[in-house]
Chain A
Amino acid sequence: MGPDDGPGAAVAWRKVLWERQPYPDNYVDQRFLEELRRNEGLRQYRYWAVVREAGLVGQQLSCVAIFITLWLYMEQGLLSPGTLLLISLASSLLGYGLYQALASQAEPVLQPRTCWADLQSVTIFLSFIFGFSPVLKTLTESVSTDTVYAMSAVMLLAHLVSFPYTHTSPPGSLSLNAALFASVCLASRLPGALHTFTMLSCALMVFALWPCLLRRVKNGAPHHFAAVCVGVCAAGVGGLASRWPGGAVILALALATVILLCPWLLVQLQRHKDNIHGPWDEAEISEDLSHFLQ
């Protein structure tokens, strides 16, 4: 019964240990690896479907670019805070209307928030930002400008990395905090307190409210989602091009990579996937066992 113990008998080999079989221990049967399964539950990706999903990543990148563009305009005095405030008020009212309109089509919520509650939140947020903007304006005065820029860049990068792309509402706390940290840093380099206030309310709109609206669009009007993404990307590139053409080129290249090249690579590399399963895999507990403890 050791290895190479002589030719096997006529008895068929069975995959059992409890029976002494007339085969050597290192016998390899025809049925060896019979239960091996390859690429189980493999999802075949289609290129344009992946591109559509990647659009979400691209538009988030563009959102950051749009925010930086606004800041550039404000910093160079090309845009007065009053104008920007008016524009953002108009667009947030428009967005809010859209949000409510899409709510009926999207998933029904048990207890919808009333407009009154929304108004209260907005008032609280705006008055706090308005009250604190002189403080925030001088917050980083003792820090050198280079440090502030570097910190903002790192934080915006952290925002992009940690953004919960798979479920975009509400924006993940880490990504939202990183983005607000970066906007406080940038806003504190602007000339006046009103500038700071405007910049921060814009930051809230771009980083907190826009992802919520975009999710509604994605769920409620999926056909328009692609168009919205393209629009945001174009706005990002175009806006940046007006102040910093080099940056716009870099952004366009990054967007092309994320939206077009990476999905292509994913689809191409998919055929090299070789995932093996078999009886040796650890079983997964698929049931929800928590109800036994509640």
Chain B
Amino acid sequence: MGNRRRAAAFSHATQAVSGPTAETIKTAGRKHSICMVSDFFYPNMGGVESHIYLLSQCLIEKGHKVVVVTHAYGHRKGVRYLTNGLKVYYLPLQVMYNQSTTTTFFHSMPLLRCVFVRERITVVHSHSSFSAMAHDALFHAKTMGLNTVFTDHSLFGFADVSSVLTNKLLTVSLCDTNHIVCVSYTSKENTVLRAALDPEIVSVIPNAVEHGDFTPDPSQRNNDRITIVVISRLVYRKGIDLLSGIIPELCLKHPDLHFLIGGEGPKRLVLEEVREKYQLHDRVRLLGPLEHKDVRGVLVQGHIFLNTSLTEAFCMAIVEGASCGLQVVSTRVGGIPEVLPEDLITLCEPTVQSLCAGLETVIARQRSGSVSTPASVHARVRNLYTWRNVAERTEKVYDRVCGEEVLPLDRRLRRLRTHCGPVAGSIFAFVAVLDFLFLLFLQWWLPDRLMDLAADASGPFGLWRQEASESKSKAPSKRGGQ
């Protein structure tokens, strides 16, 4: 059945691209009130977290209003403001596993409704398929008649039981979502297959890198030796086992080769064992966990950046490495071949032999001096991926989404039944009805008109900048009260 649906989606996909619709033109240039929802946000660190933060900042700069909703991190709960009046709600929801909350489909409704109504949200933008809160928010937003966008940051297989279950949930969650954003073409193919989607409603908007933070500095390099830098979490999925095979192989051949490894994780033990066994303590340095601000300081010490990941939707690390002027060697997996032009990256198969061969050619080129200078590499990379560009493209997604209608309950139920199979579809259609009744109850219990509207910090009527410019003496600005 999934097979047939996929094929149908595919044949539909090959039709011509539709031109700009009347609604898109009408809504273009409108300012949106966007609510970013994800379990993953500061103080947690990672790709999704910085994506949400930097995208929000660029959207605020463009005059949109953005609030972020996440769960409470320890003592960090309630409302906080970040740079440029980015308001963050840390909701008191129970964390279950890996910083992800549970979903009961109902318990988060009152809080999320409160946020959506008070902030006059028009678009709900959820991030990461691992975040239960993101799916909850999509579900409730559709019940409340808000437009929804979802960004998928990761790749997922199809083979095992856990992926069968999560893919089914993703199908349910995305079947009536207005638009989906993926970070690479490979990720788009993956998401379209996993959730049985029409590829027309999936946009590809890559991640970006703050190139100002990743500038080359050749003076930090020690040119008596060749340094290979690896910066990643030391886990199986990042291919650290391959690295443990590469290190002894290359260190025996090249006595001037050094490794600089940043990051922490369970596979650190493997690397330590290799270092111990081959007596490479002076040539393989394990730096442990790195803060984001220290990454550049490590990168600029190297000549070659090595990435051994086994799966990757969009690898930001290799862009950061190239931005610092390093020669990049990486495995050919996931979306990586799409990220950098062929002359800036050496792609290898995920085997020790192939990676060693790739590294050897780059080392030979480095010795003969036939590599481009760090400054020229940086100059080529610096304009490839910018957050401004990401924000511009995301804005267009919002414009399109706001021109679309949110499915009313009866059609939503029909969509669930036809799209998600008779069993899961019926179950979730029932849940959707319950959610709707719960919303009616909440609206009776605490009507929308009785809710205080929050003062906007950012956005078209934002108070933050006006206030800051009018009364600099009255700093540090109004806080709380919401």
Residues of chain A whose beta carbon lies under 8 Å from any beta carbon of chain B: 1-8, 15-19, 23-28, 30, 32-33, 35-36, 274-276, 278-287, 289, 292-293
Q: Are A3 and B203 within 8 A (Cβ)?
A: yes
The 8 A CB mask of B338-358 against A (1 = contact, 0 = none) is: 111100000000111100000
Which residues in A have their C-beta under 8 angstroms from that of B14?
28, 30, 32
Complex CA distance for A158 and B281, rounded to whole angstroms: 51
* Chain B 310-338 interface mask (CB, 8 Å, partner A; 1/0): 11011000000000000000010111001
Known: A26-B200, A36-B189, A274-B2. A2 touches B314 (CB 8 A): no
Decide yes or no whether B202 CB sits under 8 A from chain A.
yes
Say yes or no: A3 contacts B13, CB within 8 Å.
no
**Cα of A248 to Cα of B86 in the assembled complex, Å:** 75
Residue B199 CB within 8 A of the other chain: yes
Are A32 and B203 closer than 8 Å at their CB atoms? no
Contact for B159 among A8, A36, A275, CB less than 8 A: A275
Q: What is the number of residues of chain B that contact chain A, defined by CB distance less than 8 Å? A: 69
The residues of B that contact A276 with a CB separation of less than 8 Å are 158, 193
> Which residues of A have CB within 8 Å of B242?
285, 289
B351–A3 touching, CB < 8 Å: no
With A3-B396, A3-B397 known to touch, is A282 a contact of B157 (CB < 8 Å)? yes
Residues in A whose Cβ lies below 8 Å from that of B20: 4-6
Considering the chains assembled together, what is the distance between the CA atoms of A117 and B270 in angstroms?
A: 41
Asked if A280 and B155 sit within 8 Å, CB to CB, the answer is: yes
Nearest first, the 7 A-B pairs at minimum CB distance are A2-B396, A25-B203, A283-B350, A280-B190, A28-B13, A282-B311, A280-B155
Q: Would you call B393 and A283 a contact (CB within 8 A)?
A: no
B248 on interface, CB distance cutoff 8 Å: yes
Chain B residues contacting A283 (CB-CB under 8 Å) are: 239, 310-311, 331, 333, 350
Name the B residues within 8 Å of A27 (CB-CB).
17
Q: How far is the CB of B5 from chain A (nearest CB, A)?
A: 11
Total contacts A-B at CB 8 Å: 150
Q: Is the CB–CB distance between B339 and A18 below 8 Å? A: yes
Binds A, one of B35-43, B130-138, B178-186: B178-186
Say yes or no: B352 contacts A287, CB within 8 Å: yes
Provide the bound-state CA to CA distance between A276 and B167, in Å: 13
- A-B contacts, 30 of them at CB < 8 A, read A2-B399, A3-B203, A3-B396, A4-B18, A15-B185, A16-B338, A17-B184, A17-B204, A18-B384, A23-B17, A24-B203, A25-B397, A33-B192, A36-B193, A274-B2, A275-B159, A278-B189, A278-B193, A280-B190, A280-B313, A281-B157, A282-B157, A283-B239, A283-B331, A286-B351, A287-B352, A289-B244, A292-B245, A292-B274, A293-B244
CA distance A251 to B277 in the complex (A): 58
